[in-house]
Amino acid sequence: MMNLDRLVVASHNQGKIDEITEMLAPYRVEVLSAKALDLPDVEETGTTFAENARLKAEQLSLVSGLPCLADDSGLCVDALDGRPGVYSARYAPNRDFNLAMDKLIGELRQSGSKDWSAHFSCVLALKIPGEACRFFEGRVDGEIVPEKSGDKGFGFDPIFKPKGFDKTFGNFEKDEKAAVSHRGRALAKFIKEVFDAD
């Protein structure tokens, strides 16, 4: 078990910060956001979720001198050749995900594909000063629905229906989503290795 009492989350996305803070609450770790510490946005120049997560974790750990947990995640749609993928945040004009969802549904309709299968992927990178970066990956499979449903969550949640459920992530309560989401699964692996290890 590691003594990790302060942790910087390398994100300016309040939705991500809230999800991570809530899942780590039982472990008495002080979660500090990059935004709260006035740390810079790190340019995501990687071509994979792991590369982008590593870039953010290493740079913000170096700047802050603290352990840093970085997340890179996105929605990958089969009929769109895996797009938007690592470009999910940039797919939203001015970070307006209502427009992004409309755009995505429009592209799927134009594709003519009847298969709207998709998955969310998340890679967490943990960088502790003086140690190598560690990675934790989570994935949830599902499909895109043609109409937005629900006002919970953030990003593409209102149009993503996870496999085995009859509702979108936009209709999930926070605890319910954390148990099955890509970020929840990656965080569960992180928690098991960092806090629950003997």
pLDDT of residue 119: 98
Q: Is-above-0.85 flag for pTM? A: yes
166 as an active site residue: the answer is no
* Cis bond upstream, residue 93 (ω within 30): no
The pLDDT of residue 93 is: 77
- Name the CA radius of gyration of the chain, rounded: 17
| CA 66 centroid distance within chain | 21
Domain boundaries, the chain: 6-194
Buried b (16+ CB within 10 A) or exposed e, 49-78: bbbbbbbbbbbbbebbebbbbbbbbbbbbb
pLDDT at 3: 64
Catalytic residue among 5, 18, 72, 96: 72
Look at residue 41 in the predicted model and tell me its pLDDT: 83
CATH assignment, 6-194 = 3.90.950.10
Tens digits of residue pLDDT in 6-54: 999 998 778 788 888 888 888 888 999 888 888 888 888 889 999 999 9
Output the CA–CA distances (angstroms, integers) from residue 55 to 41, 68, 84, 156, 164, in the order listed.
11, 11, 20, 24, 34
The residue among 58, 197, 53, 44 whose CA lies nearest residue 128 is 58
Token pair of 58, please? 């290493």
Q: Which two tokens stand for residue 39?
A: 């740390």
Q: What is the pLDDT of residues 50-87, one digit of tens each?
A: 999 999 999 999 999 999 999 999 999 999 999 999 99
At 147, list the tokens: 């109409």
**197 Cβ neighbours under 8 A, 6+ residues apart:** 1, 2
Instruction: Give the closest residue to 172 by CA, choosing from 189, 198, 154, 146.
Output: 154
**pLDDT on residue 2:** 56
